[in-house]
Amino acid sequence: MPGLMSRILPKDASFFDTFVELAENIHAGSQALVHMLENYTDPEIQAGAIKALEHKGDNLTHALMTRLNQTFITPLDREDIHELASKLDDVVDLIDAAASRLVTYRVHTIRPGVAELARTLHEATGMVVSAVRELEKHDRVLEFCVEINRLENDGDRLCRALIAKLFDEEKDPIQIIKWKEIIEAIETSTDKCEDVANVLESVVLKSG
């Protein structure tokens, strides 16, 4: 009787909606990062748009936490809600870190391969959206989590190859410092998608 449940627990149900919003927000962030790296025309404005998504994520997370603290019965364990929100927040923070460093470091041209790493991140955030959308029903969450893990491995391999290439080809240490940090921020964002997957998996197995 979902009808009855939603009348009894209308606020609790909306935790799932907020998680979908948070996941869609990180997916929009990774999309904007891919676009920025592929069409590097106006970094300040492009990074500003990503910063706006990061703020939106902060506000959504903050509202969720406030609601969590004021809700007696929650549809998931309190700590899982906290953990999930906090890991989703980390993903968009690192997308913002990558974008804003392109501006701070006055990067003029994007190194080959970096957009590809961001596309892997974007695939991973897409899987996060899919997994979070299934969270209430539990149906295919584990399947999507396997995909996120696979994409994180891809991202890790790509990142190592990019860093090795950076040290092989770039002779200017200042360029190495800048790009190493940008590449690692994108890779760490993909890592955080895996952390999200781990929480989702744990939630599903627990209630399984």
**Interface residues toward a second copy, by CB under 8 A:** 65-66, 69-70, 79, 100, 104-106, 160, 163-164, 167-168, 173-174, 176-178, 180, 198, 202, 205-206, 208
Least gap, CB of 98 to a second copy (angstroms): 14
- Three-state DSSP class for residue 172: coil
Tokens of 151: 């994409």
Closer of 9 and 176 to a second copy (Cβ): 176
DSSP string for residues in 40-53 = -S-HHHHHHHHHHH
Tokens of 31: 């999309």
Closer of 34 and 114 to a second copy (Cβ): 114
Tokens of 169: 């080809």
Least gap, CB of 36 to a second copy (angstroms): 17
User: At which residue do the structure tokens 């009808």 appear?
Assistant: 3
User: At which residue do the structure tokens 């406030």 appear?
Assistant: 66
Closer of 24 and 156 to a second copy (Cβ): 156
Closer of 24 and 51 to a second copy (Cβ): 51
Closer of 24 and 184 to a second copy (Cβ): 184
Least gap, CB of 1 to a second copy (angstroms): 27
Least gap, CB of 6 to a second copy (angstroms): 25
Tokens of 72: 């007696």
Closer of 140 and 167 to a second copy (Cβ): 167
Long-range (24+ apart) CB contacts under 8 A made by 162-169 are 162/111, 162/113, 162/114, 162/117, 165/113, 166/111
Tokens of 176: 């190495």
Least gap, CB of 184 to a second copy (angstroms): 10
Least gap, CB of 48 to a second copy (angstroms): 13
DSSP structural state of residue 136 = T
Cα pseudo-dihedral 159, 141, 63, 185, rounded to 10: 0
